[in-house]
Amino acid sequence: MADPTAARTPLMAGNWKMNLNHVEAVHLLQKLSWTLQDKKHDFDRVEVAVLPPFTDIRSVQTLVDGDRMKIKYGAQDVSTHDSGAYTGEISASMLTKLGCTYVLTGHSERRQHHHETDEVVNAKTAKAIEAGLTPIMCVGEGLEVRKADGHVEHCLGQVDAGLAGLKQDDVRKLVIAYEPVWAIGTGEVATPEDAQEVIAAIRGRIEETISPSVADSVRILYGGSVKMASAGGIMAQPDVDGCLVGGASLQVDEFAGICRYLDLQLGYSS
């Protein structure tokens, strides 16, 4: 039986999507770091990561290394290929070389606008792991599926397909993000109970198909219009291990507030 209270370090990951050039990226990251330092953020207690566009990653790396920041970073996508004649693609080893920790796979915007199938998501996830990156593999249902009450089965199907063929120890280390498509960038947040329902089902599926200890270790995030005001309620759910934040990660005070949800809950916000 998977233990929903097993120790898993919460992760707050900011997906900048196609926003911020490299100069703007440096400004935002510097300000985020100062804000969190000023509030004495404990990065071992709540991990913080940013996922900039590819063109910003080298600048982010220089800043993180130069200032010895504890903020981690990663990319928003990765190729299924290792190298060669694949115009416009970026390989997993290129990201590792840039010091990336994380990479998103299967974000709904890639599934929707770039027709990424579950097989492609699985191949990208495997390539990322092979190169030493931690994939944040995204799953989530659209509005029609939710209305037809098929959301849990839909997400479990995406999880099964995305994890196919991966080794137990690799699954243990990866991160899954549940993002209901109808809640992305719409201001429409799933309730904390909606997030818990699907995330607990995903953990249960991993327990069943892989192992209870892997299910206890794997971190599962919620994403979809998360704001400072909603983060505490979402994070109070026993199976939710963090948030994948889009729009609010472009506003330093909002994102810092999300990262500090524990302090804010405890009333240390002043």
Ligand X SMILES: O=C[C@H](O)COP(=O)(O)O
Query: 266: buried, middle or exposed (CB in 10 Å: 19+, 13-18, 0-12)?
Result: exposed
User: Given the complex with ligand X, which of 77 and 216 has the nearer CB atom?
Assistant: 77
List, in sequence order, every residue forming a beta bridge with 198; answer none if it has no partner: none
DSSP character at residue 190: P
Which residue from 134, 196, 225, 237 is in contact with ligand X, where contact means CB under 6 A? 225
Instruction: By CB under 6 A, tell whether 74 contacts ligand X.
Output: no
Tokens of 207: 């327990």
Instruction: By CB under 6 A, tell whether 245 contacts ligand X.
Output: yes
The contact pattern for ligand X, residues 80-119, with x = CB under 6 A and - = no contact, is: ---------------------------x------------
φ, ψ at 6 (rounded to 5°): -55, 145
CA distance linking residue 129 with residue 115, whole number of Å? 22
CA distance linking residue 234 with residue 243, whole number of Å? 8
- Three-state DSSP class for residue 242: strand
What part of residues 182-201 is at the interface with ligand X (CB under 6 A)? Answer: 184-185
Q: From the CB of 267, what's the least distance to ligand X, in Å?
A: 26
Instruction: By CB under 6 A, tell whether 246 contacts ligand X.
Output: yes
Instruction: By CB under 6 A, tell whether 63 contacts ligand X.
Output: no
CB within 8 Å of 202: residues ≥ 6 apart: 139, 155, 156, 159, 176, 178, 220
- Three-state DSSP class for residue 78: coil
User: Given the complex with ligand X, which of 235 and 245 has the nearer CB atom?
Assistant: 245
Selecting among 109, 116, 141, 179, the annotated active-site residue is 179
The contact pattern for ligand X, residues 11-50, with x = CB under 6 A and - = no contact, is: ----x-----------------------------------
Selecting among 41, 107, 109, 116, the annotated active-site residue is 107
Instruction: By CB under 6 A, tell whether 226 contacts ligand X.
Output: yes
DSSP character at residue 26: H
72 neighbors 48 (Cβ within 8 angstroms) = yes
Task: Let me know how long the chain is.
Answer: 270
Instruction: By CB under 6 A, tell whether 223 contacts ligand X.
Output: yes
| Catalytic residue flag (residue 179) | yes
**Catalytic sites, residue numbers:** 107, 179
Known binding residues for substrate are 15-17, 185, 225, 246-247
Residues interacting with ligand X, by CB under 6 A?
15, 107, 179, 184-185, 223-226, 244-248
